[in-house]
Amino acid sequence: MSRGDDNCYTFWDTPGLNEADDCTVSPQDAVHNLLDLVKDHGVNLLIYCIRGRLVNIIRVNYDLFWKIICMEKVPIVLVVTGLEGKPDMNEWWEENEKTVKKMKLVFAGHACVTSWKGKGNMYENAYKESAEKVWELVRKHSIPKPWRMTPGWPVQAKEKIVAYKARLAPRNIVVFGQTGVGKSSIINMLAGSSVANVSPGAAGCTSSNQSYRISHGDDNCYTLWDTPGLNEAEDGTVSPQDAVHSLLDLVKDHGINLLIYCIRGRLVDIIRVNYDLFWKIICMEEVPIVLVVTGLEGKPDMDEWWDENEETVNKMKLVFAGHACVTSWKGKGGMCEDAYKESAEKVWKLVRKHSTPKPWRMTPGWPVQAKEKFVAYEKIYKVRKFLELARSIFSF
């Protein structure tokens, strides 16, 4: 294909990188096709086409093909399609440029276009304008000599793929605590939308472990786990035994990168019991744990809670990697919205700073070690219900 200049261009139409099961090409075959293209012909320019919202798969495909396969050696430009009917197609870039940068997507150039003339050619002028925009990118950014894989490419690419896979694996963040402390509200606050059901009462509405995949514009992906209340008792939806068994299943099946312990109100003894039960016994003190204190809406300075209670926390021998004093409620008419936004950033800061790259999982020797710890704790906690709960863990 030529465009009236001194160069001739070959455009390669490739299979979709995430066509999935309902399309004609598997993701593996699509990537292999791209690899063959690079090996056999070389590449002078990459045109990355996207449409719609900036979802996480866009970043994954960008990293996979430009950073890993092409080793960041080939110019890459962005073409945003599907903008027919927009009075100004360039508005897409103005509205999304910040998000593109947050996702760490770097392009040599971009074009916001329509690739459809519309019914009765109603978008023909925009179509012609779009063609010229893309041609301008091609003429300006395609390099004279194609980049080809070097002899050392397989080793370098394999190392990058291993590192990238580790980064793509979601970090499991377990939110636990008593019923009614606002665990589901914390998850909604972090997600920026109502993804988890919230109960207006004290009985709790989370009857089993619920997971929510959330990203926050950094290199990592997070799965937040909403768990049943650890002490729902007779008026709740989940027995203490079932709540603990749900947490055990979560640890065994998925592993944990961070524990968020939510509390609200006074520092009563059950807070220490649950802390010891889950962090010291079940997680063997191997997982970072942070404290989130909820229900502080309306306070001029939410951090005062920590100033007033730090000494008691220390006396109770509750040790945390970090803490945040927050509100997980915007208040009537959004009167606490500023504090709510501040709270979200506080908790996200804890997540980013303290979640481990690799999840902790139970070791083969866990049952013996945990049982020994339970025996030791029987001497500390003279609470019949706790002892019943502890012993029930080894009943399955």
The per-residue pLDDT for 199 is 54
Mean pLDDT of 101-119: 95
The per-residue pLDDT for 296 is 95
Q: Please, which contacts does 48-56 make with residues 24 or more away whose CB atoms are closer than 8 Å? A: 48/76, 48/77, 48/78, 48/79, 48/107, 49/79, 49/80, 49/81, 50/78, 50/79, 50/80, 50/81, 51/80, 51/81, 51/82, 52/82, 54/96, 54/99, 54/100, 54/103, 56/215, 56/221
d(CA 242, CA 219): 35
d(CA 140, CA 131): 14
pLDDT digits (tens, 9 = 90+) for 264-303: 988 988 898 889 888 988 899 999 999 999 999 989 999 9
The per-residue pLDDT for 277 is 82
Q: Provide, rounded to the nearest whole percent, the portion of the chain with pLDDT above 70.
A: 82
Is 0.85 surpassed by the pTM of this model?
no
Residue 257 pLDDT grade (very low, low, confident, very high; cuts 50, 70, 90): very high
Q: Within the chain, what is the greatest distance between any pair of CA atoms? A: 88
Q: Please, which contacts does 247-252 make with residues 24 or more away whose CB atoms are closer than 8 Å? A: 247/174, 247/176, 247/209, 247/278, 247/282, 248/282, 248/393, 249/209, 250/172, 250/174, 250/209, 250/225, 251/282, 251/283, 251/361, 251/362, 252/361, 252/362
Residue 201 pLDDT grade (very low, low, confident, very high; cuts 50, 70, 90): very low
d(CA 141, CA 53): 25
The per-residue pLDDT for 202 is 43
Residue 224 has pLDDT above 90, yes or no: yes
The per-residue pLDDT for 30 is 64
Query: Cα dihedral sign for 107, 109, 110, 115?
Result: negative
pLDDT digits (tens, 9 = 90+) for 5-31: 778 999 998 776 554 434 444 556 666
The per-residue pLDDT for 233 is 44
- Does the 169-395 domain belong in CATH 3.40.50.300? yes
Higher pLDDT, 273 or 166: 273
Exposure b/e, 182-215, CB count within 10 A at least 16 = b: bbbbbbbbbbeeebbeeeeeeebbbeebbbbebe
